[in-house]
Amino acid sequence: MTNDSAPTLKGHWLWGNLKDFNADNLGFIESAARQGDLVRIRFGPMRGYFVNHPDHVCKVLAARSKSFRKPAVVKRALSDILGENIFTSNGTAWKRSRQALQPAFHLRHVERYTQIMQECIERELQDWRPGAIIDLEAAMTRVTMHIIVRTMFDADLGDRADELTAVFTRLFHLAYRRMKFYALVPNWLPTRSNREVKRLSTVIRELLRSYIADWRAGKAGEASLLNLVLGPEDGAKMSDEQLINEAITIIGAGYETTAYTLVFTWLALMQNPAVSERLYSEVDAVLDGRRLRLADVKALEYSTRVVKEALRLYPSAWGLSRSTLEPVEIAGTALARYSTVLVSPWTLGRDPRWFPDPLRFDPDRHTKENARAIPHYAYIPFGGGGRTCLGSHFALMEAVIIIAAIAQRYHLLPLPGSAAGAKSVAFTLRPDGNMRVRLQPRVPEPALRPGFIAARPALVHCT
């Protein structure tokens, strides 16, 4: 028997909780979490629930996932940017995209990309100098953008990585602004914002169309994601527009979430010297001054746990949303059809019930033994259920490789007044301040073997 006992988060009589949510996403969900594990919320006319217990999250994302879908506002806001693809679609269309893309991200294929990842981070490190000040956000987004484009299309962005990341960042900002106001303005209306979306989308689509043309002409390497996803026959069945729709999501999600995972991992390392020294010691012991090999990724166990702990405290996607297709019972409360449900990896990962002393950065939470004590749906930095991020293995391996390559050469030292935590910006987390860091060469500097680019002595200050 169901009841209607879920507490209600207080809000304005007309717009409900919408103003508080838009003003401070993280503050809002933390406030909701303090009210209970299932809390009523209201965004204008939309009524919904905030869910904050692993058992309830499991029901939303896995056990009763067929009773939920992506909210309609997501498709309205993104239809002219992403089209019909794995992120926006539901039902049969989503299954078709998922089945087509999933094989390329299987671990046996992801392992092929180790060399590309290593080459891309070494390319970035060529421009780093001892004593220089770098913008860590810009550096990490540049590296991850090079990696996702190389692995997907076997294409080299050259000097266009910063340009492309800027286009994606602005486009995602505009898309999120649409969602904040429930996409009430039609996408086809020629407003200033819609015209900008069209212009930026055209830039991205023209670039991807050129890459797809090269792929169809057989110019992409055998290990490219497109070749793993689509054989010649499958490729002929999918139009360029369909391929572009999928590629925009894979690239957009693939570079941004990993880049900020790296940024927050370094933030945590700079704030926790004992953890960073343990990571440096492991990198030195495992790699012994040589280039990283595939087998080394598994040996870098503590480094992997460091990244996993960064994902607990700073999940790239701070919130996930669903809409009920039919009435669903959760914790004795009947959720009506078309209710919006909000789940937050941010609050789940900081809940002391599942993570004692939750603000303490402790990579050993993720040892095999300790991880068994964590409820499965309390730790969901990559989502959960059927819509779990396809690229989770890819992203984790990429982050470990990049962290190890940098740690072989440098300590990163934060400048006064730099970021101390996180804030929400659009769909993902960002540092709450600048991430400009000074590069201090390792002391004693590891004797890097042939094939590495040693730290150069010139002092360069990046502006």
- pLDDT tens, 104-131? 677 666 777 888 899 999 999 999 999 9
Domains (range + CATH), the chain: 18-441 (1.10.630.10)
In terms of average pLDDT, the best of 195-209, 281-295, 360-374 is 360-374
Q: Given this model, what pLDDT does residue 453 score?
A: 46
At 154 the pLDDT is: 84
Average pLDDT, integer, range 219-230:
65
As a whole number of angstroms, the distance between CA 85 and CA 243 comes to 9
How far apart CA 272 and CA 360 sit, in angstroms, is 10
Residue labelled with tokens 């396809």: 390
Q: Which residues contact 124 (CB under 8 A, 6 or more apart)?
A: 139, 142, 143, 146
- Higher-scoring residue by pLDDT: 87, 407: 407
The predicted model gives 34-48 an average pLDDT of 92
- For residues 305-321, give the mean pLDDT: 96
Cα–Cα distance, 257 to 429 (Å, whole number): 9
Please tell me the predicted confidence (pLDDT) of residue 443.
57
Give the largest CA-CA distance in the chain.
72
Share of the chain above pLDDT 90, in %: 58
- Asked which of 53-67, 180-194, 446-460 is least confident by mean pLDDT, the reply is 446-460
Residue 123: exposure state from Cβ atoms within 10 A (0-12, 13-18, ≥19): middle
**Can you give the pLDDT at residue 1?**
45
End-to-end CA distance of the chain: 63
Q: Give me the pLDDT at residue 2, please.
A: 56
Provide the token pair at 49.
Answer: 């629930």
Are residues 356 and 370 in contact, defined by beta-carbon separation less than 8 angstroms?
no
pLDDT reported for residue 81: 85
- What's the mean per-residue pLDDT of the chain? 87
Helix 161-180, helix 72-82: angle, nearest 10: 150
Q: Looking at the predicted structure, is the pLDDT value of residue 223 above 60?
A: no
Rounded-to-integer distance, Cα 371 and Cα 396, Å = 17
pLDDT tens digits, one per residue of 391-413 = 888 899 999 999 999 999 999 99
Task: Give the closest residue to 341 by CA, choosing from 326, 318, 320.
Answer: 320
The pLDDT of residue 307 is above 90: yes
Mean pLDDT of 273-295: 93
